[in-house]
Structure 1
């Protein structure tokens, strides 16, 4: 009897340990290249989830080569997959268009949004010495665009849209050299895209007087991007709001994720956003109003949280 009781107790203890271990929810969060601001955001989110759930949710951050890859991996991933991408790419994947042409998959229809994260924000940074305070003033100036990034591609597009193609000298250098080149007078300005406040713009503004250009309403319309306001005082010497464009970025999962997990992820994200902003200012620009940037359906678990707080939801989110 004693032996059977001991075995029974051991079995019960093992069962409890197994249950405790299985109580931990593991999430894979795939965002961007290591070293990028978006990878840093992913690390912050992982830490917030661990702290906010007392370790019940463990988030592993995975490096990514880009948003298209993040979407494509939905086809082979399970319920633990969270990834970031611009909302437009989800629409293209679900429609089998552009880079997803001929690569359609039913799994794309199961993608559901969780929450918006800081947008890719366009910055056109000109030295005060250049005298450039508008896009027209960029004519004849030397601009560094960099290469291979969203900012470089978008910046080149804007030069064409705004009548500056062939009228601006494009510096042959990497964006990583922009701040030193601007400070030394080798260039008149540079174009960069990232969450604001952008670290390289902070550095540039702190080392030499700069003007970050605003776009007109007409220019924003021509760009077909989302309007974004960078509040006055964001950068050294910035006395007025900057009106620019942005590419929204959102964290997504799929219908494979259970509602409770999606609810908890969304709840913890919003409840710790202000704390994260104390460590990295880019979180301060995120608000529930950015749900309007989501153009496809939101996960039912996330919807539950948004309804609890009275956040604005649209028909296409349901």
Structure 2
């Protein structure tokens, strides 16, 4: 019996790997911070892998410090390494730009994509009592952005883009207190980013009348982010689709991984997705349409699966 140790890293999200060539596969799964939705995804993926392989794949979930760290670890990893990160970070690493300036490594050029996972989705949640139904209406209102997170940075960026800088009162409240602060009138709204449906937005919609703002196509173009539509009925009281933005996230490995392992990983993910969605609706947000958000090349083993399954791939992905 062969044994292998597969290390999976995740800063915003999660991934897993298996190969039919192994009778037993042991996986160390480095996830996002404990308590986050992406850490929960890691736990779900571990359970799905165990169920899908009759216990032949054992996944141990560990906390991760972030997507940049996950990409950087490619330098020291081999063919047993899988990580998840926004595709844009891979492109920056391969170009030696931004946070990767002066830290280039030939192994970054060997990074290959496998499959998408739930995107980081922007939610601008306003109380119905505030009367706000669009971004212009946020002027003079008290809004919680949080601190240090992707959602906080992105929310601040949007306020500047849409002419609201200095015109919105920013609440000094932790994002973890957003829902009670909204219910007791301390704030008029809050901004959060995560997979959809987002747990804190579900809670807010269930306990108070809220409006989740939509962005126009022109506003989405200004943000330079991917467009994402949250279907009507996702949240309590939501009668219409919500058009917003997202930061795509995907699972990656390197060319050091065997084609067979990458094929089995990709195949098992897509075949397990429907079952995972029965208990965690955020997996419903992953479909073939998200494949277009994966920039750069896919792993040859993943390409084999997508070809068999009839997925349309871009020339860049192949």
TM-score by length of 1: 0.92
Which position in structure 2 is the counterpart of 1:279?
Answer: 279
SS in 2 for 1:229: strand
Number of paired residues?
301
SS in 2 for 1:267: helix
Q: Contact 2:2–2:24 (CA<8 Å) still a contact in 1?
A: no
1:308 and 2:298 aligned: no
Which position in structure 1 is the counterpart of 2:31?
Answer: 31
State the alpha-carbon separation in 2 of the partners of residues 163 and 290 from structure 1: 30
Shift of 1:19: 5.1
Shift of 1:47: 1.5
Which position in structure 2 is the counterpart of 1:229?
Answer: 229
Which position in structure 2 is the counterpart of 1:96?
Answer: 96
- Superposed, which structure 2 residues align to 1:136-285 within 5 Å? 136-285=136-285
Structure with the bigger percentage of helix: 1
State the alpha-carbon separation in 2 of the partners of residues 99 and 70 from structure 1: 13
Gapped regions of structure 2 (runs ≥ 5): 5-21
Shift of 1:151: 0.2
Shift of 1:110: 1.1
Which position in structure 2 is the counterpart of 1:10?
Answer: none
Which position in structure 1 is the counterpart of 2:77?
Answer: 77
**After the TM superposition, which of the residue ranges 49-58 and 252-261 deviates more from structure 2?**
49-58
State the alpha-carbon separation in 2 of the partners of residues 282 and 78 from structure 1: 31
State the alpha-carbon separation in 1 of the partners of residues 261 and 3 from structure 2: 17
State the alpha-carbon separation in 2 of the partners of residues 299 and 40 from structure 1: 26
State the alpha-carbon separation in 2 of the partners of residues 103 and 19 from structure 1: 36
1:92-135 Cα deviation digits (max 9, x unpaired): 00111110000000111111111100000000000000000000
Shift of 1:31: 3.1
Shift of 1:142: 0.1
Shift of 1:20: 8.0
Q: 1:303 to 1:201 in 2, by over 3 A?
A: same
**After the TM superposition, which of the residue ranges 108-117 and 18-27 deviates more from structure 2?**
18-27
Q: 1:20 to 1:79 in 2, by over 3 A?
A: closer
Shift of 1:60: 2.7
Shift of 1:265: 1.1
State the alpha-carbon separation in 2 of the partners of residues 317 and 221 from structure 1: 23
SS in 1 for 2:121: strand
State the alpha-carbon separation in 2 of the partners of residues 62 and 78 from structure 1: 19
Q: Contact 1:27–1:60 (CA<8 Å) still a contact in 2?
A: yes
Shift of 1:77: 1.5
Q: Contact 2:3–2:26 (CA<8 Å) still a contact in 1?
A: no
State the alpha-carbon separation in 2 of the partners of residues 102 and 276 from structure 1: 40
State the alpha-carbon separation in 2 of the partners of residues 220 and 90 from structure 1: 23
Shift of 1:63: 1.2
State the alpha-carbon separation in 1 of the partners of residues 240 and 43 from structure 2: 32
Shift of 1:62: 2.5
SS in 2 for 1:256: coil
Q: 1:213 to 1:275 in 2, by over 3 A?
A: same
Shift of 1:280: 0.5
Shift of 1:58: 2.8
Q: Contact 2:263–2:301 (CA<8 Å) still a contact in 1?
A: yes
Gapped regions of structure 1 (runs ≥ 5): 1-17
1:232-258 Cα deviation digits (max 9, x unpaired): 000000000000000000011111111
